[in-house]
Amino acid sequence: MSFKPRTESTELIKFRFLNPRITLSTKEKKRYLNLEKGYQGEVMFDQLTEKLQNDLYILNDLCLEFNNSVFQIDTLIIAQELIYPFEVKNFEGDYYYESESFHSKLSKEEIKNPLDQLKRSKSLLRPFLKKLGIYLPVEGLVTFVNPEFTLYQAPLDAPIIYPTQLNHLMKKLNQIPSKLNYRHKKLADQLVAMHLSESPYAWKPIYTYEKLKKGIICPICFSFMLSVGDKKLVCEKCGCEEEADTAVLRSVGELKFLFPDKKITTSGIHEWCKVIESKKMIRRILLVNYRAVGERHTRYFEID
Ligand SMILES: [Zn+2]
């Protein structure tokens, strides 16, 4: 089990909630799809590291600051005598390496070099660890997890793991001699405590309540859901079903996430959910699950 589990970033969640409700700019849409794809790749890598039996600490997704520079590590593995930061990439398709940069074979477009990203986080991680009194060697790797990724003209000595080498990497990690002690535990605790929950590099899309398309979005594919019968909702795209109560509560959470200052009222949630016709039903769900403040037309609900 990982020492620090991975969760979606606030930025990714925000984009998921906004994408079906407003028209994102081309740049925002691209950013959103990249975040989604990157996250999927990281989860794929987590499924492999989760199976490791060796005495290691696995910290997923760290955002740290050193000397006014922020750096992100997709996965950090602490072994007895070594620290491994991993840069996880979910690139798909054919790429080539030329004059120290990555290019898509299809579009010829230059991609941000993941080796440079790794180099940067290593160069910040080393002094960061020294400051905490840790002098273990740092050996980072760029890990490509998508089975449909190919890199042409790759330098032989680059710290890269290809999809075909993932199993071997896991075997290797499982076999390194490692016995962790309280000092490793202290380090892992410190890193978790120092993790910045919101990256300063996160995009902040602009939106207003009035401009957002109302309705309940699917928890699986984030498309709009339709109500069927009295108590059920079904997704128009993936067909998944959900109880109306659960869907309404989820939508309240979504509204709170997008608009933390907004008061939760029966009329407000009735408008926000749109597809639940009965206002009475909305009132019942809110009354059962949240603390009501005030009476009737001034009533609102406290969530926490
Ligand atoms: Zn769906």
Short-list 264, 265, 216, CA closest to 242 = 216
Cα-to-centroid distance, 223 and ligand 1 (Å): 5
Please give the Cα distance from 278 to 66 (Å, whole number): 53
Cα-to-centroid distance, 267 and ligand 1 (Å): 26
Cα-to-centroid distance, 245 and ligand 1 (Å): 17
Cα-to-centroid distance, 234 and ligand 1 (Å): 8
Cα-to-centroid distance, 221 and ligand 1 (Å): 4
Cα-to-centroid distance, 225 and ligand 1 (Å): 7
259-262 long-range contacts, Cβ below 8 Å, gap at least 24?
Answer: 259/209, 262/209
Q: Is the pLDDT of residue 15 over 90?
A: yes
Please give the Cα distance from 180 to 84 (Å, whole number): 15
Cα-to-centroid distance, 263 and ligand 1 (Å): 28
137 vs 197: which has the higher pLDDT: 137
Please give the Cα distance from 45 to 47 (Å, whole number): 5
Residue 180 dihedral angles phi and psi, to the nearest 5°: -85, 150
User: Phi-psi category of 158—alpha, beta or left, where left has phi over 0 and alpha has psi -120 to 50?
Assistant: beta
Cα-to-centroid distance, 14 and ligand 1 (Å): 17
Q: State the pLDDT at residue 229.
A: 79
For residue 295, what pLDDT band results from cuts at 50, 70 and 90? confident
Q: Which residues on adjacent β-strands are paired with residue 71? A: 64
Please give the Cα distance from 22 to 19 (Å, whole number): 6
Q: Are 214 and 259 in contact (CB under 8 A)?
A: no
For residue 213, what pLDDT band results from cuts at 50, 70 and 90? very high
Cα-to-centroid distance, 238 and ligand 1 (Å): 4
Cα-to-centroid distance, 253 and ligand 1 (Å): 18
Please give the Cα distance from 200 to 30 (Å, whole number): 19
The arithmetic mean of pLDDT across residues 188-214, rounded, is 95
86 vs 200: which has the higher pLDDT: 86
Q: State the pLDDT at residue 296.
A: 79
Q: Which residues on adjacent β-strands are paired with residue 121? A: none
Cα-to-centroid distance, 228 and ligand 1 (Å): 15
Cα-to-centroid distance, 270 and ligand 1 (Å): 21
Instruction: Tell me the two tokens of residue 101.
Output: 């940069």
